[in-house]
């Protein structure tokens, strides 16, 4: 399976998926920490991929997503965005709604 196929499978298999540096309980950068904190506050299960442990994904995902930075949040197969967008959605209450809807589908 190619790296792109792996990425596609991850995105389609998990309704809520964050590509981040580190793990939710041990983020390795401030942007990932802020994003995963907002996501955890939604109270739903989500999947994650530590791009520091997956250099092929780290190299290929920005091209696939047409989004250059990490973290990247994907909900229901769609790229939501990075840390700033995640924080804005969390602050407005929209993130919890989006995550709940994706998990319930």
90 is annotated as contributing to ligand binding: no
Q: Consult the annotation and say whether 84 binds a ligand.
A: yes
* CA-based nearest residue to 50, from 65, 64, 38, 61: 61
Q: Is 58 annotated as a binding residue?
A: yes
Cα–Cα distance, 43 to 79 (Å, whole number): 20
C-alpha 12: how far from its chain's center? Answer: 13
Residue 83 assigned to a binding site: yes
Q: Does 70 belong to an annotated binding site?
A: yes
Q: Which residues are annotated as a binding site?
A: 21, 29, 58, 70, 83-84
Q: Which residues are annotated as a binding site for [2Fe-2S] cluster?
A: 29
Q: Which residues are annotated as a binding site for glutathione?
A: 21, 58, 70, 83-84
């Amino acid at each position: 399976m190619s790296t792109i196929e792996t990425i596609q499978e991850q995105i389609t298999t998990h309704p809520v998926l964050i590509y981040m540096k580190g793990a939710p309980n041990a983020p390795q950068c401030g942007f990932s920490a802020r994003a995963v904190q907002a996501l955890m506050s939604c109270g739903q299960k989500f999947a994650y991929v530590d791009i520091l442990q997956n250099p092929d994904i780290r190299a290929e995902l920005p091209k696939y997503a047409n989004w250059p930075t990490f973290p990247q949040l994907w909900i229901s197969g769609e790229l939501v965005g990075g840390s700033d967008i995640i924080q804005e959605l969390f602050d407005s209450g929209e993130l919890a709604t989006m995550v709940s809807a994706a998990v319930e589908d």
